[in-house]
Structure 1
């Protein structure tokens, strides 16, 4: 006689089973890029880009207007006809409109340089944002993503303050969620669970740094991630449109914040260690 519990028949498993907040995030990124590429006239798209993208040089000149000549000198080294002249024109315009646009430290994540760029970010967000959203809920998922986005922008401005290339893409926020997920998704299964299909292992606090460093799978993931992002700094990958930047340093800033912030917002964490 079969003593197994008589569970009801399961309905067909959906092809996509993402948390609602992750689905909404991906849909928003896709919708914005579709509107920009398919619906908006060029002049409207330029205005939207100017309003939302992060421009490091804008912050540099707002903090220290005397660095204008350093910006022009840096632009002169770019071997693009007319580029230095365009930068000089921008500086003259900026002198009449020195608004720093604080919101661009977050809003740049809504823009992407190409369909390849937005699809790439969507895939990684689905893979690593989903476990964070399921474990922590929508608002903590959003907090980690936003904190990573802002931190990535801040590190990019600090490392490349004279850059006249706009920063776009959700990569820094996605990197923060990847780092948060890395704190718990690679944990070995709890002993005594998994022998029966209805036995779900208990959720455990995230791994401490020493535990993570002893976890071979987690360490391998972290090394691959770091090496990949070093390649972003060495090789110009074709994710963005001309004149945009998908910055490895923004990825690094987002990843660091997600990694260290997660234990403080994770509902299953013990006291911060």
Structure 2
């Protein structure tokens, strides 16, 4: 006599084997870039970039107006294409004339991207590392980690480059936070549950501690590759966007550190 349960028939297999919140996140990022690329007039797109991107110099002058002259001197000292330098100097004068603090930009900059390559690069990593986090912790913890990572990355970028007037854009800091969170558990060996019914889902293994991660060769290789890659981000200019935008290695690092240390707190709360 067959004692196995009557499982519902599988009528169709999903095209994208990702949690719904990850699919929705990718749809939002792609949709926003498509809207900017194909629908918004250039003037509206520039206005959206100014209002939603994170501009360190604007925050520096808003917090300390005495730094306005320092910011203008930094813009004057820029080297490169004369037209680009002139545009950045003009934008620096605009920032000094209207140094309004915009706290929402610490999160909204993550919704904007400089090119389709930039969007694809971030969404591929989001699918790879956001999916295990969403499966294990659910939609709101997944979203919280991404948000805190974006904010932490933006804060570190402003602290390290306070006089920059190049708008910071891209979801890389939030994705880096999800990468760090996933690294705490995805590199463990699969759980052993011999003797259990094949339909029974094993309990999620506990997070690896930092010493355990350092003894995990796969995790160490991943961390080293990530650090080296982000070092190269800071040395080599990658064609991920327009010259007036920036994808900063320090924002990646801030997001990664935030996700790495935030996840254990969320894991304790979940348990």
Tell me the C-alpha RMSD between the 2 structures.
2.2
Range 82-91 or range 55-64, more displaced: 82-91
Written as runs of structure 1 = structure 2, the 5 A alignment for 1:2-21 is 5=4, 8=7, 9-21=9-21
Q: Corresponding residue for 1:43? A: 43
Shift of 1:148: 0.2
Q: Which runs of 5+ in 1 are unaligned?
A: none
- The TM-score with structure 1 as length reference comes to 0.90
Q: Corresponding residue for 2:151? A: 150
Shift of 1:12: 3.8
Q: Corresponding residue for 1:256? A: 257
Per-residue deviation, residues 136-170 of structure 1 (Å, max 9, x unmatched) = 11111111000000000000111111111110000
Deviating beyond 6 angstroms after TM superposition, the runs of 4 or more aligned structure 1 residues are: none
Per-residue deviation, residues 157-212 of structure 1 (Å, max 9, x unmatched) = 11111111110000000000111011111111223449975353321221111111
Are the counterparts in 2 of residues 189 and 201 from structure 1 also a CA contact under 8 Å?
A: no
Write the distance in 1 (CA, Å) between the matches of 2:141 and 2:29. 19
Q: Corresponding residue for 1:32? A: 32
Aligned partner of residue 82 in structure 2, secondary structure: coil
* Residues 30, 45 of structure 1: alpha-carbon distance in 2 compared, 3 angstrom cutoff: same
Q: Corresponding residue for 2:204? A: 203
Shift of 1:20: 1.3
Are the counterparts in 2 of residues 184 and 205 from structure 1 also a CA contact under 8 Å?
A: yes
Write the distance in 1 (CA, Å) between the matches of 2:125 and 2:88. 35
* Residues 171, 259 of structure 1: alpha-carbon distance in 2 compared, 3 angstrom cutoff: same
Say yes or no: does 1:136 pair with 2:127.
no
Are the counterparts in 2 of residues 72 and 87 from structure 1 also a CA contact under 8 Å?
A: no
Write the distance in 2 (CA, Å) between the matches of 1:227 and 1:91. 32
Shift of 1:18: 1.4
- The TM-score with structure 2 as length reference comes to 0.91
Q: Corresponding residue for 1:72? A: 72
Range 140-149 or range 5-14, more displaced: 5-14
Are the counterparts in 1 of residues 181 and 260 from structure 2 also a CA contact under 8 Å?
A: yes
Say yes or no: does 1:117 pair with 2:118.
yes
Written as runs of structure 1 = structure 2, the 5 A alignment for 1:231-246 is 231-246=232-247
Write the distance in 1 (CA, Å) between the matches of 2:44 and 2:152. 28
Q: Which runs of 5+ in 2 are unaligned?
A: none
Are the counterparts in 2 of residues 263 and 269 from structure 1 also a CA contact under 8 Å?
A: no
* Residues 95, 165 of structure 1: alpha-carbon distance in 2 compared, 3 angstrom cutoff: closer
Say yes or no: does 1:94 pair with 2:95.
yes
Write the distance in 2 (CA, Å) between the matches of 1:86 and 1:239. 20
